[in-house]
Structure 1
Amino acid sequence: MESGIRARECSLSAILAPGILLRMPPYQRSYAWQGDEVGELLSDLWRAASRGKHHFIGAIVLVEMDDRNFLVVDGQQRLTTLSMILAVLRDLETDPHYKALAHTMIGDPDRANHGDDNAWRLTLNHIDTPYFREAVQTEGATRQRDAEAGQATNHGRMSTNLDLIESHLSRLSASQRRQLFETIRDRIMLVRVVVPDWDGGYDVFRVLNTRGKAPNTHDIIKTEILQRGDFTEDEASAHARRWLDHESKLGANGLDDLLNYIRQLYSRSSKGKVTAEFSKAVLSKVDARTFLDEHLPDYVSTYNAILRGEPDYGAFSEAVRSPINHLRLLDHHLWRVPALAYLYRQRENGAEAAEFFSLLERFGFVMMLYVTNSDARRKQYARLTKAILDGKPLFHRNGPLNFSREDKRRIRERLTGRFVNFMQRRAVALRLNAALENGQQISSDEDASVEHVLPRIVPEESHWNRIWPSAAVQRELAETAGNFVIVPRHVNRIADRLEFREKKKLYFADGVRVFALTEDLRGRETWTPDDVRERTEQLVDILMGVWFPEPLG
């Protein structure tokens, strides 16, 4: 019987070709390559370029969803890093011909300019894609991206690796960079393996990611649970299959995270390695069979609802889902532990759940913006989680979800300040958009990016310097909420450093989606420091009114 698996040798340009869409399946981890892996790839590529040789990068395994639309089972890290190298080569290039050739392996310019998300060769997961689009794939992005993406995040790894790539490539001459590009395009060879269906793709993924490699956290814990459970061979096999179903639903990293969160709920501590502490924390309190049969399936479905932002509370579902989806914008995941604790235990009272998640959203944003010390932040979340587990009142004046008058004053002060971090800026702008009249919640995969009306970097010869003569004032206000609008990515790329009236023409052009955060610019004729300060105060008042409807006093 034929397997349906097809394999053939091809060049990288045949994989990153016009019309081909490569997307990450949900079980793929986020971008994870470190600097040494990127440096090794750059060295291999330059060695091949300088010698005029071919370079083999192994197999890329794909699931064919439909014609020219594929899921990447194995090869995400290599394809993402090669796209980053191509993007830096493109943005360092001065010759329009070579610049266009490099961009062709990243996306289709015409389709991208019309906001078509299928314009891009490579789409990562919902966390990484917005940053990947704005900092890598968009033309000119690597020369204008944020320097402070956050080192603890996948975006931080991308940013660090982009710095490394740019450092390497900027030392080459223009002709050497073109030589390197031609090698990447024509002489990087790989084996393209196409699997016919999703299930087969997941089987291949599981084999490729366990054979010869250190096991995942969840593999270690699964083995320990099965050993403790005294199962028959058939029972152990059935539990192992169900475990794979859990992994398929959440992804390997997602299941690792869930088991860590469960361990924290049982031990009430985040200290120690989960593989070392899980048995002591969990299996000392519940036997292995009960945990696998009764507890874990409920935890998986609950955590999956959190990840997808889709818990079911009947008529109150939207009131619960909306704040969860705002929480998914944050630059940290600590909020997931109290969310899991609450959802797992409180499944009936929709009105109470809506109130809890509304307050948890506020709590999470405050932790991101105001409680920046990681230890202090963890303690605040631990206090909240303990209150949930202990059945303590959550909503009273002195409860863990509420803030003092002085806290509120400082939170407002922080909201009027600068947002230099990509994730914080995006989270605040998207939350503001939903808070405004006729505003809507924007999902992470929508074509929406934060545009600075006053450019973050103003060239010396720019007209902006006539209206904003002080560089210090530019730095002070460019990253404040009052200077943000939300526009489709192609509008952001074109608008960049244009003068205000020209930017407005792009923002409100026929066929361009106008977001609520952008709408109030329609009637404005000027964009001065006073305009930005006034708008910042207005927007902060609106957001504080949503989070703290009672007067600050």
Structure 2
Amino acid sequence: MAINAKELPLGKVFTPDFRFEIPSFQRAYIWKASNVLQLVSDLHEACKTPDTPYFLGSLILVRAGGTKFEVIDGQQRLVSLSIVIAALRDLEKDPEWMRLLDALIVEPGDKLRGIRNEPRLTLRERDAAFFREYVQEGNLEALFDLTDEDLSSTAQRNIMVNTKAAYDALERFSDDERHTFASYLVNGVTLVIVTTDDLDGAHRIFDVMNMRGLPLTPSDVFKARATSGLKPAEIDAYATRWDDVMDPLGDDPRETEEFFSFLHMAITHKPATGKLIEDFLADVVQPHVANGTVPSFVDRVLAPYATAWRIIGHPNDTVLSAAVRDRLEALGDYPGHEWKPVAMWALVNSFRKLGQPELSPFAQRGSHSRREAVTESSLGLHDRQRLEELLAALERVTGVDTLNRTPSIDRRGHAAAAIRDLDKGYPVRLVRGLAVTPDDRAGALVRLHGEMQGDEELVRLLLIRANEQRAESRIARPRRLSALPIMPLDANDDASWSAWSQEDHDYWMYRLGNMALVQGSADQLDGIEAYDRRRDRMLLRADSRRYPLTRQLTDFAECTPAMIRHRQEETIRLIADYWEIRYDESHADLTRQDVEQLAKDAGATVGKTGRGSQRVTIAQVVKAGLLIPGETLVWERPRKGERWMVTVTDHGKFRLEDGSEYSSPTAAARAAAGGRASGGLDVWKRTSDGRKLSDIWKEYRQNH
């Protein structure tokens, strides 16, 4: 079994030297939007130091002939990198940059050299055509127009959602920032390529790398250096003590690295530089070795902070007060982790005996051991009010930063500044890293008023906050909880929506007022258009009725623009009250102010805005003059002898030849073909010039 391993930059990986294929026995693409957004955030931060490579792990490949390789390990990263590159390409206006980005994910081909035009990565058979058509071949506009009904697998939904998330994140960059990001992606991101000719050998390599032959973790390195400075009589005792402290944290290397990175920040007040082992050894371990204080470090720093880390991961398993548990649970809802070092500091500095071996803060159910009697008091709690005030301020700034899409590097800066001021003994209200400025507050309120398409997890989080504020208590959550739209995406001719103009429908479709929390999956309303049936389905389960803003739907026999507006205003007020951002310094109610004035007040904090991946509608394209009422479009299937025509109406719909009207190209295509169609932007062409709707939609997105 020949094994070859070499480290290559991404620009040398996405070349004709490698044609990646995902074998059928591999699992599907499972990364979520949060994973892709974290990758974009990490790379955006890394590209600010272009001389420092960003190592993205290893790919384990089996040679399948020529330059074709089956991917045994690395599918999630390869697919996600392709998605990020496709989004960069679609946002690009310079033809040369577009060509270069396109060549990273699709081999342009060379007849002279016998190189075929084909994608560099081929997914499993079920999803390969979907990924190629919509992502690799640059058809994102049609992808953004799809609904869950058009998808045949969970992997396809992940591809669609993640592509929207990557597009929206990268759209907020300036052109220069995207060029810098793309250059770093190609030249600064590296992978170790491990290849073999034997499938069994590849699995053995995977097993060794992931199960048995693990390299030393940061904890192993730090323990070895720390214990090297101990007296012989202390080494065994404190090596064991170190293991007793660290073992409960688990063996996930990423979790361990994150813990030590945040511990480094809590001690030094410095954000991470990407050189964890080097920095932690120099700034933390070595001074204790030099001063002979390693035992004190293990007992008084490592142990309490490791215990705090476990508490913030499982607050409801502890003996802490309901107020503290609830606040830590709420912080755990946010996608970023930059709040964790501040929460760790708060717990360690509020419980004097945290980390002592015989005082576990975790409730021992069904046990009669000494630990069962542990309480907040026996853990040495002091100044409960300050702890609760600090956690409330931490969640407030975390929520506002999340809404304002504050970059992770800035959020880490906030955390470091907060710990620095806390260590100086500042009152919580004067801690800079926990402050919400007037610009931050206005920016968050503007975001609450706006469209939230593509931010499904954020919408769910915001609705949880609003409902719990309305209920004045935390609400037990079902295992699966979705934020679902009250109005359907395509109302078509259902009488429930006869009073709605297309403009009103499009305006409210992706705003908070049109969303409700419902137990169960996100697809449970698929195919249901009538308001009363959608409402009854939402209220079917008892867990859905726990949420006041969902239960409120029982009070409305019809869904009107006034009803959705009322829900929008109430939801925003509840969230603003929860985060205490409703009133300004003169006690003026900002939730009642004009949104444009709020945006003006927010200034640069709101940042660059655009349409992102929001679905473009026929009405918007008509209003922009890119489609003309009365003109016709055609969909032809010559091999099947099928041909359909639609006419553009003056109120922004497509009218089929039978007189039925539809508010989206896909709905019209599905109706024409008897439910057998999806991707309407790809099938309809303007009869006057043969131009595809996807090209017209892309022109609208770029110019509006």
Shared fold by TM > 0.5?
Answer: yes
- 1:369 alignment partner in structure 2: 403
1:523 counterpart letter in structure 2: D
- 1:263 alignment partner in structure 2: 264
Contact persistence 1:149–1:422 (CA under 8 A): no
SS at structure 1 position matched to 2:483 = strand
**CA distances 1:202-255 after superposition (whole Å, capped 9, x unpaired):** xxx99864644443333332332233435566346524643652443x743322
**CA distances 1:165-199 after superposition (whole Å, capped 9, x unpaired):** xxxxxxxxxxxxxxxxxxxxxxx999999xxxxxx
How far is 1:367 from its partner? 1.1
How far is 1:386 from its partner? 1.4
- 1:394 alignment partner in structure 2: 428
Distance across 2 between alignment mates of 1:549 and 1:213: 48
Correspondence list, 1:73-88, <5 A: 88=127
- 2:450 alignment partner in structure 1: 417
Distance 1:242 1:526, change over 3 A: same
**CA distances 1:20-45 after superposition (whole Å, capped 9, x unpaired):** xxxxxxxxxx99x989959x69989x
How far is 1:304 from its partner? 0.4
- 1:431 alignment partner in structure 2: 465
- 1:342 alignment partner in structure 2: 346
SS at structure 1 position matched to 2:565 = helix
Distance 1:388 1:310, change over 3 A: farther
Distance across 2 between alignment mates of 1:241 and 1:218: 9
- 1:477 alignment partner in structure 2: 508
Distance 1:511 1:326, change over 3 A: closer
Distance across 2 between alignment mates of 1:288 and 1:548: 43
How far is 1:274 from its partner? 1.2
1:333 aligns with 2:337: yes
Distance across 2 between alignment mates of 1:35 and 1:91: 27
The runs of 5 or more residues in structure 1 that have no matched partner are 1-11, 17-29, 49-54, 59-74, 93-134, 154-187, 194-204
SS at structure 2 position matched to 1:451 = strand
Distance across 1 between alignment mates of 2:309 and 2:229: 25
How far is 1:351 from its partner? 2.5
SS at structure 2 position matched to 1:522 = helix
SS at structure 1 position matched to 2:436 = coil
How far is 1:403 from its partner? 3.2
How far is 1:319 from its partner? 0.9
Query: For 1:245, which of 242, 247, 250 is the aligned residue?
Result: 247
**CA distances 1:128-152 after superposition (whole Å, capped 9, x unpaired):** xxxxxxx997698458646444699
Correspondence list, 1:40-51, <5 A: none
Contact persistence 1:452–1:484 (CA under 8 A): yes
- 1:224 alignment partner in structure 2: 225
Query: For 2:281, which of 260, 279, 282 is the aligned residue?
Result: 279
Distance across 1 between alignment mates of 2:513 and 2:63: 41
Query: For 2:483, which of 441, 446, 450 is the aligned residue?
Result: 450
SS at structure 2 position matched to 1:330 = coil
Contact persistence 2:404–2:447 (CA under 8 A): yes
Distance across 1 between alignment mates of 2:167 and 2:217: 23
Distance across 1 between alignment mates of 2:388 and 2:126: 44
Query: For 1:382, which of 416, 441, 452 is the aligned residue?
Result: 416
Distance 1:138 1:468, change over 3 A: farther
Query: For 1:294, which of 291, 297, 300 is the aligned residue?
Result: 300
Q: How many residues are treated as equivalent by the alignment?
A: 407
How far is 1:467 from its partner? 5.2
- 1:199 alignment partner in structure 2: none
Distance across 2 between alignment mates of 1:214 and 1:145: 35
Distance 1:338 1:43, change over 3 A: farther
- 1:504 alignment partner in structure 2: 535
How far is 1:13 from its partner? 12
Distance across 1 between alignment mates of 2:462 and 2:126: 28
Distance across 2 between alignment mates of 1:524 and 1:42: 62
Correspondence list, 1:26-175, <5 A: 88=127, 141-142=157-158, 145=161, 147-149=163-165
- 2:553 alignment partner in structure 1: 521
TM-score, normalised with respect to structure 2: 0.49
- 2:575 alignment partner in structure 1: 543
How far is 1:334 from its partner? 0.5
Distance across 2 between alignment mates of 1:245 and 1:401: 32
How far is 1:281 from its partner? 1.4
**CA distances 1:379-418 after superposition (whole Å, capped 9, x unpaired):** 323222211122111135x865343455434432222222
Distance 1:34 1:373, change over 3 A: closer
Q: Could you say what the CA RMSD is over the residues aligned between the two structures, in angstroms?
A: 4.8
SS at structure 1 position matched to 2:301 = helix
Contact persistence 2:315–2:325 (CA under 8 A): yes
1:547 counterpart letter in structure 2: W
1:450 counterpart letter in structure 2: A
2:398 counterpart letter in structure 1: G
Distance across 2 between alignment mates of 1:88 and 1:353: 50
- 2:4 alignment partner in structure 1: none
How far is 1:523 from its partner? 1.6
Distance across 2 between alignment mates of 1:387 and 1:329: 26
Distance across 2 between alignment mates of 1:35 and 1:529: 51
How far is 1:88 from its partner? 4.3
Distance across 1 between alignment mates of 2:249 and 2:572: 41
